[in-house]
Each structure stands twice: as structure tokens, then as C-alpha cells.
Amino acid sequence: MSDAPTGRRSSRSRFAVRDLIGESIAGLLSRPGRAALTAAGTVLGVAALVATVGLARTAGNQIVTRFDELSATDVTVERAQVNGRVVGSLPWDSERRLTRLNGVRAAGTITEVDRGGALTRSVPINDPAEGDEFDLSVYALSPGAFDAVRAKVAEGKVFDRSHDDLPVAVLGPGAADDLRITRVAQQPAIFIGDQTFVVIGVLDDVDRRSELLTTVMIPEAFARAQYGTPSPGSVQIDTKVGAAELIGRQAPLALAANNPDLVKVSVPGQPKAVKAKVEGDINALFLLLGGVSLLVGALGIANVTLVSVLERVGEIGLRRAVGAARRHIAGQFLVESTLLGFLGGVVGASVGMVVIVAVSLAKDWVPVLDLGIPLLAPLAGAVVGLASGVYPSLRAASIEPVEALRGGV
Amino acid sequence: MSDSGAVPPVLDLRGVTRVFGTTTPIEALRRVDLRVGPGEYVSITGPSGSGKSTLLNILGLLDRPTEGTFLLDGIDTLDLSEGRRSALRGERIGFVFQSFHLLAHRSALENVVCALLYRRGDRRDRRRRAAEALDRVGLSHRLDAMPPTLSGGERQRVAIARALVGGPSLLLGDEPTGNLDSVTTAAILELFDELHREGLTLVVITHDADVSARAQRSVRMLDGVLCDTEASAPLAVGS
């Protein structure tokens, strides 16, 4: 067959992908304000989704790290009790035995001293009317115990091995308040009963064993000599992250190899389970909210695209007249709604990330966001747009060109 | 396709009937026979409801006859799938409508390019052909104008350029001057005459006697029946 007009074979109508996308973009740009408003629903939905997922992760992470890191590394060993009676005992060299274990960051004994009811005061009683005496607990600590409870020092320093046999004391902030000791540079003395102690440090805070905040702490060796303390009351261990369970198993053997049952070990619960639960609770709620927003966005796109189809009946008729098949018409509207959804997703993901960062800044959190979310969000927007466009596109494709062209534009 | 090498008629309708509705069927077209050869200029007149529009839709491959045969350039259109009919329509028929049907947010050039979108071709070639078509209708100076800034006559010229750009076998006009004043109408009819002289086949549906008078041949529809009147004898056209 030649190329003469009569010899041309009828071919299938076609619409190149590039042209399809070009026409769709032109269609959107012809009403930019409306396109922006239509996409706003998806922007909100995706932004809500991204922000909620991100904030859930961020907030969850804050809860988890704070609670986790401290509790996951906290192992305590106490003497075993049977029917309320203490039956076991802990060795005085617990600290040395435990610090040898790989996984122990710090360990120390903490023992309440039986001071026979002696009161504590900060000045010798010359005038009974002025003297203040306090019923403060006295604890004997091995030097490693300060590290094991993560004590923070406000003033001076804590005692170490060199102070073992010396009458020195470290005050908890509560005890220091009571005794009106704020500075230690002048080596203030306190009296427990008749025994003088030089205060070398005042604590600011402890992360564990908060009872220490209101006590007077003295070296363990001095307590044994002075008060005849028979055995350490407990051992506090600060483990490396992830080592708590191992140390929990090894500590009884290290401390009481001949009868491990005489000591009682407390190890933290499974941090992963806690973390998963916290995140799960928050995520479920927020995801639901984001999903609802996205659904509203989808309905918005569907609605506006449908209105647009009805408004552009003339254009549809014309395109059919110049050779567009039904599928080309459907394709154009589908691509338009998908593009709107995609753009909504891009902008929404950006807005969502800004929200996460802004909230994190305000709350002094570290923003946490899965890398996949900003990548998935535009895709989710596109899927929403595609799904929203299905019905309007089918409506557009079903429009008869005869009807469409009859109406004046 | 062609009988013994002779060029087939552009339009060849035999016994074309179009029935609407099933419960109380209405015969909009009754056994219409019409042949339009290459280069002919035919007007179709008739009062409202006479079946003009139905005939136009069938000629333009926008509708299918209930009975009868319709060959376009010797191609039997009844056997074609909807997709192939779309392609055939795009390639061989140029429409000119009463209400122009231009895309308001696209330039004159882009409106003309639109007619080439659903067939093979690269962008540059399409724009070149569209510019040529606009030049042909005397709008080479308004390629980038937006339709709302164009006069009625200019808009219809853009629509005619769009109809011509694909090199159609047939220009099909549906009241092409219905929205235009008399001066502009005369200019558009002059353009049709020129196109006719260049060998284009034109079929124009109108109820304007002046328009039908310009055609080489005029046929009249009445109650779905086509009365072919040869030559361009003056007609008393009812509206």
C-alpha cells in the first residue's frame, strides 16, 4: 500500500507517555489555585502521618533511652532472706570481685550502719539551745558505690581507697541541707554521736538508691572498725548496656561461689519489650489519626477531580474528536490525580519533617525519623491520588463525545 | 479497498438508519444514502430535529448506525473497534464546531498541537505543523495568544487550523458560523471556499441559507430522511 490518503491503514490511536504526562501537567497548571487546594488535603494527611510517625518514634525514643539506659544497666545483689530473716552474707571484697567481671562498669557495697541511735550534728554542743541534732541514717560505702549509683558531686569529692581508715564523710544533699553545710573547702566537721567526721564532699544527685540523698556516707573500712558492721547490706552494680543479664547470672557465683543461693540478685526486665510496647501504643493511635487525615485528603482529590471532569466535558469531547480513545481520557485524569497526590505527598512529607524538628526543638528531644518515611510518603500520596482518580477517570472515559461537544464552552 | 484502482468516495453511506431508545424507538435517521467524493463541498441543511446532528455524529465516527453501511475512504467503519475508530477519526476527520471548543488555558499553537497528540510524531514536528496550519488560516502572528484574548473569528480560525493540521480527508463543520457575526461569517466562508479550491472535501451542517448557498452541493434533511438535491440550486431553507 502506498502512502496515498486512500491507502493509509487505520492504526490504533496512541498517546505517548511523555505527551500524557505533559497534557496532565498542563491540565493541572491551567488551574493552579485549584490544584493547590486539592492537593492540600493530601498535604495535610501525609504531613499528619509523617509527623505522627516521626514524633511517635522521637517521643518513644526519649522515654526509652532515659528509662532504659538506667534500668537496663542496674543490677543489685542483696543477702537472701528466708521468712523475713537474713540468712546469707556478702563478702567485704565484693567490689573487687565484681569489677573483675567483664560487663561491670562499676560496683560497690552499700550498707546501713547501726550507729546505736546516735544523732548527727554539725557543731559541738556548747549551748544546747542552739545546737541542731538530726536523726540521719549513716551508710557505709565502698568507693566504687558512688560510680555504681551514678552519683553527681555538688561540692568537694567522694572518698576513695586512700580514705579507707579515715573519719571522712560525704553528705547527701538532704543531709547537707539539714546540717547547713554548703561548702567543703574549710573541711567542716560533723559529729555522729561523739565521733568526728570531716566532710570532704556533698552530692548533688544520684540516679539509683535515692535513699542516699538524705544520708551521711562514710568509708566502709572505717565503719567496720568503728561500728563493727558485720557484712555488706547490698551490692550495687552498674553494668555495660546489654550485660545486665549476664552479670545477674555471674554475680552470685563471684560473691558466694560455695553457695550462690545465699544471695539474691535483681536484674532489670527486658528493655526491648518495654520499648516495643511504648512505641506500639503511641504508633497505633497516631497512625489511626494520620490514616483518617489521608482518607479525607483522598476524598478531597476524588471530589475535585470529579468536579473537574464535569467542568471539562467540552475538552473531553474535543480530545475524543481529535482521536483520543476512552483509555487516553481516563489515563489523563488518572495521571492528573496521581500527580496531585504525589505533589501532596512531597509537600506533606516536608511539612511533616518540619513539624517533627520543630516539636523536637521545643521539647529538647533528638528527632528520630526512619529514612524510608520521607521516601515512602510521596509514594503513598501518589497511591492516594491514583485511587482517588479511578472513579472520576472512569466517569470521564464514559462521557460520549456527542453529548460533550454539543454543550457550548 | 478501492474498486479496480478507482479512488473511492470519501463518504459512502448506504441505507444508514439510526434508532434511539428501545421501548419507544425513535428513528432519527431512515435509510440514508449519501456519497461524497474527494474534493466535494456539501452542505446539509434541515430544521431542528430533522436528524442533522445524528448524521453528523455518524459521519464523524462519534456514533454508529443501527443499520446500513458506512465507508470512510473505502474503509468499512462498522467493523472497527472503538480504539481504531478513534484513531481513524483523529487522522481523517477535522471537526469545526459552532462553539469552537478551544482549551482556554492553552495558547493557539498548543490548541492546534492538541489535534496531533494522539498519533505518532515528535514535539518539534508537531509544533512546526501547527504553526503552518495557523499560518494557513492567517493567524501566524497570534501563535502564542490565549483563546480568551482572541476574537470570535480568530477563535474559529484556530479551530479550523486544528481541524486541518492532521491533513484530514474530510473537514466536518457543525454550524461553523453559528456564533459569528455576518462579516466574520463571510471571512470564514471565504476560507472554506479556498480550502475547497485546494481540493479539500468539506461537509458543513447548517441552517443558514447563505452558508449552504456557498456549497457546491446541498442536501436537505427532513424527519430523518435525506433528500439529495444536486448542484447548488438556491434552496428555501426552513429553520
Cα B52 from Cα B56, distance rounded (Å): 6
Confidence of residue B29 (pLDDT cuts 50, 70, 90): very high
Q: Tell me if chain A has a CB within 8 Å of the CB of B124.
A: no
ipTM value: 0.87
Q: Tell me if chain A has a CB within 8 Å of the CB of B106.
A: yes
Give residue A306's identity as a one-letter amino acid code.
L
Confidence of residue A3 (pLDDT cuts 50, 70, 90): very low
Q: State residue B93's pLDDT score.
A: 94
CB-based contact A10 B99, cutoff 8 Å: no
Report, as an integer, the average pLDDT of B8-17. Answer: 93
User: Are the beta carbons of A241 and A132 closer than 8 angstroms?
Assistant: no
| Angle between helix B152-164 and B123-136 (nearest 10) | 130
For A37-59, how does the pLDDT look when each residue is reduced to its tens digit (9 = 90+)? Answer: 888 888 888 888 888 878 877 77
Report, as an integer, the average pLDDT of A87-103. Answer: 87
Reference A235, options A214, A252, A216, A257; nearest CA is A252
Cα A335 from Cα A346, distance rounded (Å): 16
Q: Choose the mutation target among A13, A29, A34, A308 for the interface with B, i.e. most B CBs under 10 Å.
A: A13
Question: Is the confidence at residue A271, as pLDDT, over 60?
Answer: no
Residues 261-320 (A) with a CB less than 8 A from some CB of B: 314-315, 317-320
- B227, β-bridge pairs: B220
Q: Which of A18-32, A66-80, B163-177, B220-234 has the lowest mean pLDDT?
A: B220-234
Cα B180 from Cα B171, distance rounded (Å): 19
Question: Is the confidence at residue B7, as pLDDT, over 70?
Answer: yes
Give residue A48's identity as a one-letter amino acid code.
A
Report, as an integer, the average pLDDT of A376-398. Answer: 92
Q: State residue A41's pLDDT score.
A: 81
Q: Which three cell numbers stand for residue B81?
A: 473497534
User: Are the beta carbons of B160 and B137 closer than 8 angstroms?
Assistant: yes
Q: Which of A274-278, A308-312, B2-6, B159-163 has the lowest mean pLDDT?
A: B2-6
Gap from A334 CA to chain B (nearest CA, Å): 17
Query: Residue B222, SS3?
Result: strand
Could you tell me which residues come within 8 angstroms of residue A407 by beta carbon, excluding any fewer than 6 positions away?
A313, A314, A317, B99
Question: Is the confidence at residue A240, as pLDDT, over 60?
Answer: yes
Cβ atoms within 10 Å of A258's Cβ, excluding its own: 6
Question: Is the confidence at residue A68, as pLDDT, over 70?
Answer: no
Closest partner residue to B169 among A5, A324, A325, by Cβ? A5
A216-219 and A138-141 as β-strands: parallel, antiparallel, unpaired? Answer: parallel
CB contacts of A322 in chain B (<8 Å) are: 89-90, 95, 114-115, 117-118, 162, 166
Q: State residue A282's pLDDT score.
A: 63
For A316-365, how does the pLDDT look when each residue is reduced to its tens digit (9 = 90+)? Answer: 999 999 989 899 999 999 999 999 999 999 999 999 999 989 988 887 77
Residues 181-210 (B) with a CB less than 8 A from some CB of A: none
CB-based contact A11 B87, cutoff 8 Å: yes
Higher pLDDT among residues A116 and A162, named by residue: A162
CB contacts of A407 in chain B (<8 Å) are: 99
CB-based contact A6 B74, cutoff 8 Å: yes
CB-based contact B118 A319, cutoff 8 Å: yes
Q: State residue A61's pLDDT score.
A: 67
For A14-42, how does the pLDDT look when each residue is reduced to its tens digit (9 = 90+)? Answer: 778 888 888 888 888 888 888 888 888 88
For B72-97, how does the pLDDT look when each residue is reduced to its tens digit (9 = 90+)? Answer: 999 999 989 888 898 899 999 999 99
CB-based contact A14 B166, cutoff 8 Å: no
CB contacts of B71 in chain A (<8 Å) are: none
Question: In this prediction, what percent of chain A has a pLDDT beyond 90?
Answer: 22
- Domain spans, chain A: 16-67+273-406, 73-269
Closest partner residue to B75 among A10, A31, A320, by Cβ? A10
CB-based contact A325 B7, cutoff 8 Å: no
Report, as an integer, the average pLDDT of A258-262. Answer: 82
For B106-146, how does the pLDDT look when each residue is reduced to its tens digit (9 = 90+)? Answer: 999 999 999 999 888 888 999 999 999 999 999 999 999 99
Higher pLDDT among residues B236 and A18, named by residue: A18
Give residue A321's identity as a one-letter amino acid code.
A
CB-based contact A318 B62, cutoff 8 Å: no
Calculate Rg over the CA atoms of chain B.
Answer: 18
B170-174 and B201-205 as β-strands: parallel, antiparallel, unpaired? Answer: parallel
Q: Which of A242-246, A343-347, A359-363, B172-176 has the lowest mean pLDDT?
A: A242-246
Q: Tell me if chain B has a CB within 8 Å of the CB of A398.
A: no
User: Are the beta carbons of B134 and B109 closer than 8 angstroms?
Assistant: yes
Q: Ramachandran region of residue A120, left (φ > 0), alpha (ψ -120 to 50) or beta?
A: beta
Give residue A167's identity as a one-letter amino acid code.
P
Question: Is the confidence at residue A9, as pLDDT, over 50?
Answer: no
Q: Tell me if chain B has a CB within 8 Å of the CB of A7.
A: yes
Cβ atoms within 10 Å of B62's Cβ, excluding its own: 23
Q: Which three cell numbers stand for residue A3?
A: 502512502
- B217, β-bridge pairs: B42
Query: Residue B97, SS3?
Result: strand
Confidence of residue A74 (pLDDT cuts 50, 70, 90): confident
Cα B10 from Cα B38, distance rounded (Å): 6
Report, as an integer, the average pLDDT of B140-166. Answer: 93
Q: Please provide residue B205's backbone torsions phi and psi, each rounded to the nearest 5 degrees.
A: -95, 130
Please report where in the chains the cell 435509510 appears, as a residue.
Answer: B31
For A157-178, how does the pLDDT look when each residue is reduced to its tens digit (9 = 90+)? Answer: 999 889 888 899 999 999 888 8
Could you tell me which residues come within 8 angstroms of residue A390 by beta carbon, excluding any fewer than 6 positions away?
A334
Q: Choose the mutation target among B57, B77, B89 for the interface with A, i.e. most A CBs under 10 Å.
A: B89
Question: Is the confidence at residue A10, as pLDDT, over 50?
Answer: no
SS (H, E, C) chain A: CCCCHHHCCCCCCCCCHHHHHHHHHHHHHCCHHHHHHHHHHHHHHHHHHHHHHHHHHHHHHHHHHHHHHHHCCEEEEEECEECCEECCCCCCCHHHHHHCCCCEEEEEEEEECCCCCCCEECCCCCCCCCCCEECCCEEEECCHHHHHCCCEEEEECCCCHHHCCCCEEEECHHHHHHHCCCCCCCCCEEEECCEEEEEEEEEEECCCCHHHHHCEEEEHHHHHHHHCCCCCCEEEEEECCCCHHHHHHHHHHHHCCCCHHHEEEECCCCHHHHHHHHHHHHHHHHHHHHHHHHHHHHHHHHHHHHHHHHHCHHHHHHHHHCCCCHHHHHHHHHHHHHHHHHHHHHHHHHHHHHHHHHHHHHHCCCCCCCCHHHHHHHHHHHHHHHHHHHHHHHHHHHCCHHHHHHCCC
Closest partner residue to B117 among A19, A31, A408, by Cβ? A19
Higher pLDDT among residues B237 and B168, named by residue: B168
Q: State residue B12's pLDDT score.
A: 94
Gap from B117 CA to chain A (nearest CA, Å): 6
Q: State residue A275's pLDDT score.
A: 58
Q: State residue A390's pLDDT score.
A: 94
Please report where in the chains the cell 489521608 appears, as a residue.
Answer: A294
Cα A237 from Cα A186, distance rounded (Å): 33
Give residue A12's identity as a one-letter amino acid code.
R
Q: Choose the mutation target among A23, A29, A318 for the interface with B, i.e. most B CBs under 10 Å.
A: A318
For residues B16-27, one letter each, b for 16 or more C-beta atoms within 10 angstroms of the residue's C-beta and e for the rest, the string is bebeeeeeeeeb
Instruction: Give the distance from CA A56 to its chain's centroid.
Output: 8
Gap from A320 CA to chain B (nearest CA, Å): 7
For B36-85, how does the pLDDT look when each residue is reduced to its tens digit (9 = 90+)? Answer: 999 999 999 988 888 888 898 899 998 899 999 999 999 999 989 888 89
Confidence of residue A372 (pLDDT cuts 50, 70, 90): confident
- B69, β-bridge pairs: B14
Q: State residue B122's pLDDT score.
A: 86
Confidence of residue B1 (pLDDT cuts 50, 70, 90): very low
Question: Is the confidence at residue A199, as pLDDT, over 80?
Answer: yes
Higher pLDDT among residues A240 and A124, named by residue: A240
- B229, β-bridge pairs: B218
Report, as an integer, the average pLDDT of A394-404. Answer: 87
What mean pLDDT, rounded, does chain B reach?
A: 88
Q: State residue A367's pLDDT score.
A: 83
Q: State residue A131's pLDDT score.
A: 61
CB contacts of B111 in chain A (<8 Å) are: none
Confidence of residue A373 (pLDDT cuts 50, 70, 90): confident
- CATH superfamily of this structure's domain B3-229: P-loop containing nucleotide triphosphate hydrolases (3.40.50.300)
CB contacts of A13 in chain B (<8 Å) are: 83-84, 86-87, 90, 118-119
Q: Tell me if chain A has a CB within 8 Å of the CB of B127.
A: no
